[in-house]
Chain A
């Protein structure tokens, strides 16, 4: 199993989420993140003083998938998150040891699979 962590622009999230859902990867989390890289901070002007904010708001996207699916997810993120400008973000891929579904207690690859229609309460 692999965990894909991507730091992306806010605007990129919605198309990525839509395509991942379409391709059968509904399980993901996002976190509001603030970070710095080559992109410079924001200079805020307030009542005559300035304040340089050296971090920028980004979204951190986290998806855990089977090893074989890693490529599809990474490609999807690259496709929608890239503008070619400084500040597009980064993707990290990490190994994952275990996955446990809290509702049922089951573990392993099973918890990463797409649910059957009948399993999902309306």
Chain B
């Protein structure tokens, strides 16, 4: 610690001369050693861990919405994709997203090679200095967002996509596509600075981008076998476990308390606690609205739609969570709950999205981003120093226009790139398993084992001491050496 003080001291002086915005911790004391910086790092890492845990939520949600023959595939997918994103985002993604204030792309901080102190890192990553936060904490927090966005892409492609398609798209997505878009909207790029687009935690950056990738994949992938009747009507293909779906939704809901409140990038002043309340209000309103609308349509309390309602409410409040007052949150969440139900039913008529990601993350993400243009309060627009108050307060459509432009640009860019990548993959290695493999299930055809073996392979009863082949008729066959499952054959 002493040593770092000696090195960092002069650096802070130099940095404060070079960067005017750096004057936050104006004394000679290095910012890293202030209690404030430590508290910020602590909160942001806790929040990042909550967001990382959302991977478990996506896993359970997707596995629950799959049939039992595809239950294991989701596990391999989440683990491999998260790991690819971990390496790619550290290597280049973070630098493209936050390495400097270029309008289009960042160019500092590859491999996080920016020094460990806030002073050193602040020169290449301005946010580190502005928010007074450890560069490692900041990078890890931004990485888990990228991983969430990538996970959203794949939920829609369940039960028929080839594993190799995941790997190639995951590299492109986490190294370039997501970082560039997040630079434009989060990292000081043109949409944030020049247009004043407000997106607090990523209704557009994380959720719409992920859903847009999913949409592009779905157009090229086609529906699962048996999804549509001969006259084109959608059929239900029920997922195998609603309890897993429910657990997945609740884990995502919990993770969102890191997602939005963590985007304060600091704990000083307690602003993050208000964001927690805003987030929860929207999720609750999303559930109630989705259940109510579904009940009016089908006279059932639909379990899956209750879950989609929660996710839609959370996705919608993600952009405005740092910009709106409490009263606006239930309105934003409830409208998202209505949108997701109508969206799922409408989208299902043309494309097969087993988890409803294009509705819950896409349509609700668009609504959430636009809702800033209506509900952003003057106090919080000023606090965040991005954009203007919304229509409700200002009577002006200006902010709504900025939001709409941001949505259009993000959707357009991600769609074009994703469609091109998936089209290329489709015409080279292929993105879909064969019909035979799809019928058998991805577990056995792609992963060589079943997610639930007992369902497909007979098991012996509880009787370990029995010796088979020892009875009548008298025979010279030796008894098996050990009590093995007589219904399966093991090869070594």
Contacts and interface: CB of A to CB of B under 8 A. Distances in A.
B492 interface: no
Give the interface residue-count category, chain B: 20 to 34
Contacts of B294: 48
A118 interface: no
Interface stretch (A12-20, A29-37, A39-47): A39-47
A49 B236 CA distance: 5
B58 to A, nearest CB: 18
B482 interface: no
Nearest to A48: B345
Interface in A66-115: 102-105
A50 interface: yes
B20 to A, nearest CB: 54
Nearest to A101: B472
Interface stretch (B70-78, B299-307, B397-405): B299-307
Nearest to A106: B472
A23 to B, nearest CB: 27
A45 B300 contact: yes
A44 B238 contact: yes
B348 A48 contact: yes
A45 B473 contact: no
B344 interface: yes
A47 B234 CA distance: 11
A47 B341 CA distance: 8
Interface residues of A, number: 12
B236, B237, B238, B472 interface centre (most CB from chain A within 10 Å): B236
A46 B302 CA distance: 7
Given A45-B236, A47-B356, A103 B471 contact: yes
B489 interface: no
A120 interface: no
B348 A47 contact: yes
A103 B470 CA distance: 10
7 contacts: A45-B236, A45-B298, A47-B308, A47-B348, A48-B344, A105-B471, A105-B473
A2 B10 CA distance: 99
A50 B236 contact: yes
B18 interface: no
Contacts of B304: 46-47
A47 B473 contact: no
- Lowest 7 A-B CB distances belong to which pairs? A105-B472, A51-B236, A46-B236, A49-B236, A48-B345, A47-B304, A46-B238
B236 to A, nearest CB: 4
A49 B472 contact: no
Nearest to B305: A47
Contacts of A104: 472
B235 A48 contact: no
A48 B298 contact: yes
A27 to B, nearest CB: 17
B457 interface: no
Given A104-B472, A105-B471, A48 B305 contact: yes
A44 B305 CA distance: 14
A48 B472 contact: no
Nearest to A50: B236
Contact of B236 (A47, A102, A105): A47
A51 B236 CA distance: 5
A44, A46, A104 interface centre (most CB from chain B within 10 Å): A46
Contacts of B1: none
B233 to A, nearest CB: 8
A49, A50, A104 interface centre (most CB from chain B within 10 Å): A49
B297 interface: yes
B298 A51 contact: no
A50 to B, nearest CB: 6
Contacts of B305: 47-48
A49 B234 contact: yes
B348 A45 contact: no
Contacts of B234: 49
Contacts of A47: 236, 302, 304-305, 308, 344, 348, 356
Nearest to B474: A105
